[in-house]
Amino acid sequence: MNSVFINQTWLKIVLTSGVNITGATGHDIYYRTPAGAVGHWPANVEDEASGILSYTLPAGTSPLLTKGKWKFWNWVEMPDGRIARGETYEVEIFSDQL
């Protein structure tokens, strides 16, 4: 990811679980704020065979309200109850332009 700023809305987060998620019954992108709060957004499936998920920040209202290090990872649940969690990515959110 390039530089990301507080209140940014022109951003698509793309993550991979590294496994085939064809038929998955649930898929989200999780985040941890710099203060430690954890939440998640519903993910779009970009590529089932490669386990690639995405979330596009909503126009007009950004959830990125705190500067600091945010963490993002994906979560997938398969019909048989297996859960896959992708690698965690750490992104610095800046208060204003560099």
pLDDT (tens digit, 9 = 90+) per residue, 14-67? 998 888 999 999 999 999 999 999 999 999 999 999 999 999 988 777 788 789
Which residues have C-beta within 8 Å of that of residue 83, sequence separation ≥ 6? 75, 76, 77
**pTM of the model as a whole:** 0.86
Averaged pLDDT for residues 64-78: 91
Write out the residue range of the structural domain in which residue 21 sits. Answer: 4-94
Which CATH number do you get for residue 30? 2.60.40.10
CB 41 within 8 A of CB 87: no
CB 77 within 8 A of CB 27: yes
Distance CA 64, CA 91 (A): 11
Distance CA 88, CA 73 (A): 5
Count of structural domains, the chain: 1
